[in-house]
Amino acid sequence: DVVMTQSPLSLPVTLGQPASISCRSSQSLAHRDGKIYMTWFQQRPGQSPRRLIYQVSKRDSGVPDRFSGSGSDTDFTLKISWVETDDVAVYYCMQGSHWPWTFGRGTKVEIK
Amino acid sequence: EVQLVESGGHLVQPGGSLSLSCTASGFTFSLYWMNWVRQTPGKGLEWVASMDQEGSEKYYLDSVKGRFTISRDNAKNSLLLQMNSLRVEDTAVYYCTRVDWGSSDYWGQGTLVSVSS
């Protein structure tokens, strides 16, 4: 199975400052169709996960452009250009390029 | 508006069975792959099973193969998960999700399955 290693697991951030979360996969996420199925989710307290980014860098409808995804092969990053109070949540990476789909352990973003 | 509503979560004894269902609305259900994903405080998010539009392709997490069965009724816009031989480690919130662009774009609110004696 592909192991998704997220870091850091906890990220205290000052309001208005940027934040960056890393996710590394144990093998290349290049699918045989040429795409990379790397996804980022946000889970606010008490809510279901919400997809933010799919296929590495494509933002879902309604997601602020403060959120961006990048990376290739085995190294991926979610960046928040400036953190707002609404961004307090746990963020998960997930790969869907290989069965079984696997998630990272999550990064808890909190305000300092 | 896309909505996914799970039901069927319950307290069940180890070795018991449970059937979860998910009712979809707000989109053409028959056009999408669908997933079950579960979440526990200890293991986080864990993909459980996926199914294509017609039921010809199904994929399962190794630890549930042979015990869980994913199915769907496109006429009723519903996704099912039959869970047999339940184990304590199957305790989790189970989410029904729609698949688009290679991952889960919409999630239900989840239903809690507790396996305990």
Quick: pLDDT tens for B66-83: 999 999 999 999 999 999
- What pLDDT is attached to residue B43? 79
Residue A4 phi, psi dihedral angles, 5° rounding: -105, 115
Mean per-residue pLDDT, A83-95: 97
- CA–CA dist A25, A12 (Å, integer): 24
- Contact between chains at A103 and B44 (C-beta distance less than 8 A): yes
* pLDDT 10s digits, B7-49: 999 999 999 999 999 999 999 999 999 999 999 988 799 999 9
* pLDDT 10s digits, B89-103: 999 999 999 999 999
Mean per-residue pLDDT, B105-112: 97
Nearest by CB to residue B103, choosing from A39, A99, A105, is A39
Structure tokens at B34: 């669908």
Mean per-residue pLDDT, A59-63: 97
Task: List B112's β-bridge partners, or say none.
Answer: B93
Residue A61 has pLDDT above 90, yes or no: yes
- What pLDDT is attached to residue B42? 80
- Contact between chains at B104 and A35 (C-beta distance less than 8 A): no
Structure tokens at A23: 């996710």
Query: Residue A86 in 3-state DSSP?
Result: helix
Structure tokens at B94: 């189970």
- What pLDDT is attached to residue B25? 98
Residues of B in contact with A101 (CB under 8 A): 35, 47, 50, 103
Mean per-residue pLDDT, A15-27: 98
- What pLDDT is attached to residue B39? 98
Residues 51-110, chain A: which have Cβ within 8 Å of B? 51, 54-55, 58, 60, 92, 94, 96-97, 99-106
- What pLDDT is attached to residue B41? 80
List the one residue out of A37, A93, A49 whose CA is nearest residue B39: A49
User: Is B61 an 8 Å CB contact of chain A?
Assistant: yes
Residues of A in contact with B41 (CB under 8 A): none
Task: List A61's β-bridge partners, or say none.
Answer: none
* pLDDT 10s digits, A40-52: 999 999 999 999 9
Rg (alpha carbons) of chain A, rounded to whole number:
13
- What pLDDT is attached to residue A30? 93
- CA–CA dist A28, A98 (Å, integer): 10
Nearest by CB to residue A51, choosing from B44, B103, B110, is B103
- What pLDDT is attached to residue B91? 97
Confidence of residue A80 (pLDDT cuts 50, 70, 90): very high
- What pLDDT is attached to residue B103? 94
Q: Please give the C-alpha separations between residue B43 and each of A17, B36, B50, in angstroms, as whole numbers.
A: 30, 16, 19
Residues of B in contact with A104 (CB under 8 A): 44
Residue A1 has pLDDT above 90, yes or no: yes
